[in-house]
Structure 1
Amino acid sequence: MSRLLSLNTYNYRRGGSDVVFVEHDAMFRARGWDTAVMTMHHPKNEASPWSRFFADEIEFGHEYGMLDKLAMAGKVIYSSEAKRKIAALLDEFPADVAHAHCIYHHLSPSVLVELKQRGIPTVMTAHDLKLACPAYKMLNRGGVCEKCRSGNLLHVVANRCIRDSLPVSALIMVESAVHKSLGLYRRNLDRVVAPSQFYKRKLMEWGWPEQQLAYIPNYVDAAAYTACYEPGDYFFYFGRLAMEKGVATLIRAAAQAKVKLRIAGTGPEGDALKALAAEVGGDIEFLGFVSGEPLWKWVREARAIVLPSEWYENAPMSVLEAYGSGKPVIGARIGGIPEMVREGETGALFESGKVDELADLLRKFAEMPDSVVAEMGKTAREYVARTYTAERYLREMLALYASLGVKLDGPDEGGRGDDCANRSR
């Protein structure tokens, strides 16, 4: 029986990368593999038989004393504790392959060093651009930024790229300098999985060799989503209310186009965006945090989903979820979004940050016959059900593992049917 060890910061569904971590482990366990996980301790973690090997919690939002801060800074750069604990875990669970997700500050690349020393093939999924950019997003207060590509990491401090904080930015600059100079990721990872072609190209531009990268897109179980093709009378955004998400551009465009806009989510820019909406006028409503069936109801009853991002998005799950719900997507032409939106078939694209261009598209979709919008939704549903499948993800991931010499044991996993009448998403 093949053994898979998965590594991540959290052992619960906190964000998109954590969902991929949880579902990747579950997928291989269902296939018959023996699996184990390692994360840091956290109050919201799911119960795990492996929790005795988890690293101590580090949360940057917490208050720490000076000694704790110094200890935490050391762990961020290289955690000897995490290395000891993964060594103990591997003594009990001799993995055939390891798959890391987001481990950067909380486990640190020390765990990769231990895996390499034991000769265990190790893969990491690039959920963000941390393997190139110290600040994850290639973004600062001035917008998209690639200044550190030259190798001069002082830009991280000069622009306070991390939490707009000088000390935290300085710490991450030192962390990145140490990791890059010692090659802690480059030398200890056998492959990096990029969920978008854009991320694969971007990592190559920043010096990663192509042979060390693999493109494997995310997946969604389309059968788990109820599709509603009848278009509603409002446009819908769901996600974080943060600068890089482009919600301010969307608000201005919706007011200019005189269309209804509904916004679900919370975030650091929430108050500022509400003030902007009041200033520009228009039919704009903030719904706050919405999840589960209430969220999917808002999605299903929308005319189209809008993704107005202003940073290098990877492969947003919200696009796949919208398609699964039978809705076209109006997306910004940035990052991996253009790979997922087929213009005129499953939605439309506009130049990121361009209010007038987005307003024109919103107006066009508002005036478009319902039958045309519905047909786009049907095409989107068929496209995601055919292309972004769990079967494809599993097949390509197994091929990647096999290319690293991993013996593949376990029965093939069968497909699932589509019974929308009994689904709640």
Structure 2
Amino acid sequence: MNVVILSTYQHFGGAAVATSRLHQALRNEGVEATLLVGTSNRQETHQPAPGVTFLANNFLAESTAFGRFVAERLYFLPAERDPSVRFQFSPAVFGADLNFHPAIQQADLIHLHWTSFGFLSLSGLRSLFDLGKPVVWTLHDQWAFTGGCHYTGGCTHFLTHCHHCPYLKKPAENDLSARRFDRKQWAYTGAPLHVVHPSQWLAEQAKRSTLLGGFPHLVIPNTLDQTVFAPAGRPPAEGQPRRLLFGSANVTDPRKGFTYFAEALRLLHAQHPELTPEILIFGKGRSYLFNELPYTVRSLGLLTSPADIAAAYNAADALVVPSLEDNLPNTVLEALSCGTPVVGFRTGGIPEMIDHRQTGYLAASGSAQELADGLAFVLTHPDPASLRQQARQSAEDRYSEAVIAGQHIDLYQSLLSQRVS
């Protein structure tokens, strides 16, 4: 069984991290899997792992890949509502022709992941489908079943037909989202496609959509190396400050809900003056709100090493994830594997990851007060060691490499046997 996995990036962004982890897990289980990455290796901060090949592997190819990325952005620029949505909508007009790549030709099965930003166009997707090989597509956001946005922000037009898109400067009945929606319908017609979702939440959204509702769907969570993301010896609690951790690739991304975290801390300070946690924050961007928090804040900056990220989780008494929209956040997965409880909103796939009051705390989405209640729950828990043990056990049972790779292998074998028969 020869599988080719497609991803725009190797490590940049949550979807790429999840894809690279699955690739490694599959190889650990003996699958002949190649990860074909759309960008150049020089754009990555990590060395390529075995079985990883880059489409942009020389100067000309790198320039071409960058040109496709720029062309995608320029195509959307006249239509965008404002600069804040510039990278939240992908028209998928420009992309590479992959049909003649050796990894594609030699593969028995094609496994798509996140392929936006100039890696695959809708025409390129159609060309891959036309090869007739089984195609698995793991979705990391909602883009595959919308007219172009990666997260809908509550818009439900994808259930019927996208139009009057809130991401566009001039929403209309036949706007850019409507036209790209039609193009996706053309690209998907007759596709040998099986859709995989890391979360039940995303699966339910896709099943209800016009574009993907007619395809088979399966939920398989993301995975990670639980020897790296593992509990570490913690110093004695006496004399050590309690710590709350907030982390995101971009701290200032409104979707990640930092403002709700800030408000929850102000409520916690007013309602529980005896609690004095230290706040740890990692990720790109520095929010002006840092200086307004009622507790000591330590900014860890952008953490790229898995060992450093795991150390941050192990230093914290809880991870706080007030995301307003999210699929199956890697941060929650990593924290639980390190035995760190998680406090988060009941949104997206997060409720599927946290067992309320056992491995963390679930608050109503958008409620700073309930988020503050969750912080107080963790900080005043009479047996924090049990919370940590339950968090780790939950992660082992649900997200280990052997478990998740095994579920993918079963799917691959089923699709390949159907093709033979």
For normalisation by structure 2, the TM-score amounts to 0.79
Task: Give matches, 1:8-407, under 5 Å.
Answer: 8-10=7-9, 12-42=10-40, 43-45=42-44, 51=55, 56-58=64-66, 77-79=92-94, 82-83=96-97, 86-90=98-102, 93-106=105-118, 107-133=120-146, 134-139=148-153, 144-155=154-165, 159-160=166-167, 173=177, 176-182=180-186, 184-185=187-188, 187-207=190-210, 208-209=212-213, 212-228=216-232, 233-239=242-248, 240-241=250-251, 242-258=253-269, 259-260=276-277, 261-267=279-285, 270=286, 273-274=287-288, 276-279=289-292, 281-292=294-305, 293-311=307-325, 313-369=326-382, 372-406=383-417
Distance 2:67 2:359 in 1: 40
Task: Identify which of structures 1 and 2 has the higher relative contact order when contacts are C-alpha pairs closer than 8 Å and 6+ apart.
Answer: 1
Deviation (angstroms), 1:95: 1.4
Taking structure 1 as reference, are residues 221 and 28 closer, same or farther at Cα in structure 2, changes over 3 Å only? closer
Secondary structure of residue in 2 paired with 1:51? strand
Contact 2:3 2:107 in 1 (8 A): yes
Distance 2:72 2:196 in 1: 35
Taking structure 1 as reference, are residues 353 and 398 closer, same or farther at Cα in structure 2, changes over 3 Å only? same
Secondary structure of residue in 1 paired with 2:38? coil
Aligned residues with identical type, % of pairs: 23
Cα deviation code 1:105-153 (max 9, x no counterpart): 42123333223322111111001111223211112xxxx3334434142
Counterpart in the other structure of 2:5: 6
Distance 1:175 1:76 in 2: 9
Choose 379-388 or 47-56, whichever is displaced more. Answer: 47-56
Deviation (angstroms), 1:378: 0.5
Taking structure 1 as reference, are residues 49 and 130 closer, same or farther at Cα in structure 2, changes over 3 Å only? closer
Contact 2:196 2:218 in 1 (8 A): yes
Deviation (angstroms), 1:227: 0.7
Tell me the amino acid that sits aligned with residue 82 of structure 1: A
Q: Which runs of 5+ in 1 are unaligned?
A: 409-425
Distance 1:407 1:224 in 2: 37
Deviation (angstroms), 1:26: 3.2
Deviation (angstroms), 1:22: 2.4
Deviation (angstroms), 1:61: 8.1
Taking structure 1 as reference, are residues 310 and 9 closer, same or farther at Cα in structure 2, changes over 3 Å only? same
Contact 1:327 1:380 in 2 (8 A): yes
Contact 1:229 1:375 in 2 (8 A): no
Distance 2:74 2:258 in 1: 38
Counterpart in the other structure of 1:411: none
Distance 2:116 2:348 in 1: 22
Taking structure 1 as reference, are residues 4 and 121 closer, same or farther at Cα in structure 2, changes over 3 Å only? same
Choose 90-99 or 113-122, whichever is displaced more. Answer: 90-99
Secondary structure of residue in 2 paired with 1:40? strand
Tell me the amino acid that sits aligned with residue 396 of structure 2: A
Deviation (angstroms), 1:296: 2.7
Tell me the amino acid that sits aligned with residue 167 of structure 2: R
Contact 1:263 1:285 in 2 (8 A): yes
Secondary structure of residue in 1 paired with 2:106? coil
Deviation (angstroms), 1:98: 0.4
Secondary structure of residue in 1 paired with 2:284? coil
Deviation (angstroms), 1:263: 1.5
Secondary structure of residue in 1 paired with 2:107? coil
Deviation (angstroms), 1:175: 5.9
Structure 1 stretches of 4+ with a deviation exceeding 6 A read: 52-55, 63-67
Taking structure 1 as reference, are residues 361 and 24 closer, same or farther at Cα in structure 2, changes over 3 Å only? closer
Secondary structure of residue in 2 paired with 1:160? coil
Deviation (angstroms), 1:284: 3.5
Deviation (angstroms), 1:64: 10
Q: Which runs of 5+ in 2 are unaligned?
A: 79-89, 270-275
Counterpart in the other structure of 1:415: none
Deviation (angstroms), 1:204: 1.2
Secondary structure of residue in 1 paired with 2:145? coil
Deviation (angstroms), 1:90: 4.7
Tell me the amino acid that sits aligned with residue 132 of structure 2: G
Deviation (angstroms), 1:186: 5.5
Deviation (angstroms), 1:344: 1.6
Distance 2:103 2:290 in 1: 57
Deviation (angstroms), 1:277: 4.0
Contact 1:103 1:109 in 2 (8 A): no
Deviation (angstroms), 1:82: 2.1
State the number of aligned residues.
378
Cα deviation code 1:371-395 (max 9, x no counterpart): x121111111111112211112122
